[in-house]
Amino acid sequence: MTLTDAHTHRRDGATPDAVVQIEPDEALPAAGRFSTGVHPWRSARAAELWPKVEAMAADSRIVAIGECGLDRRRGAPLPEQTELFLRHVRLAERLGKPLIVHCVGAWAELLALHRHARPRMPWMVHGFRGKPQLARQLLDAGMHISLGERFNPATAAIIPAGRLHIETDTSERPLAEIAAAVAAARAAVRAERESGARGGNKE
């Protein structure tokens, strides 16, 4: 089975079927698989960038919308980010393409928006580093989770295989190394739990 890089900003060294982030003011390469959207950090430029996203998004080389989302630390005020994010949601639904989500410090808002939107297309939270409790909320809502170079091992262990993705994002580490680290963490946490369960059953 081919290991797919679910989200990367790298152009050199990306796996052949990687989903490469293309900014809306860049030229779309002749071949490859790409995502495009207005990152929350660039949300103050939405009026300029959004028409370019819409123009590019229908192209068959664009396989996902985003990354887009909510970030309390950077970008336009959260209400403006929210409206921009909902534009991405509507575009993804109209085109039948998944959404790559960036979220920092606005998890309750993200979950509320997902409940409100009731999307048909999957939302993949990329570069997730949070604790299992938050991951369970996202999974219970129906979202997918992508792990990169830095992740919580206990979180990695609870994500169902069908909704777990691996990414390089901006890391220089090979995708295979990140995937191996995630697999090892999942195995170690599960082995520890099984050992604890066996110990608890002793009389």
CATH number of the CATH domain containing 154 = 3.20.20.140
Question: In this structure, is residue 38 part of a structural domain?
Answer: yes
Q: What is the pLDDT of residues 53-67, one digit of tens each?
A: 999 999 999 999 999
pLDDT at 193: 78
Number of structural domains (the chain) is 1
Question: In this structure, is residue 12 part of a structural domain?
Answer: no
Computed on alpha carbons and rounded to an integer, the radius of gyration of the chain in Å comes to 18
pLDDT at 14: 73
Question: In this structure, is residue 11 part of a structural domain?
Answer: no
CB 43 within 8 A of CB 78: no
Q: What is the pLDDT of residues 133-171, one digit of tens each?
A: 999 999 999 999 999 999 999 999 999 999 999 999 999
Question: In this structure, is residue 13 part of a structural domain?
Answer: no
Q: What percent of the chain has pLDDT over 90?
A: 88
Question: In this structure, is residue 53 part of a structural domain?
Answer: yes
Structural domain range at position 23: 19-200
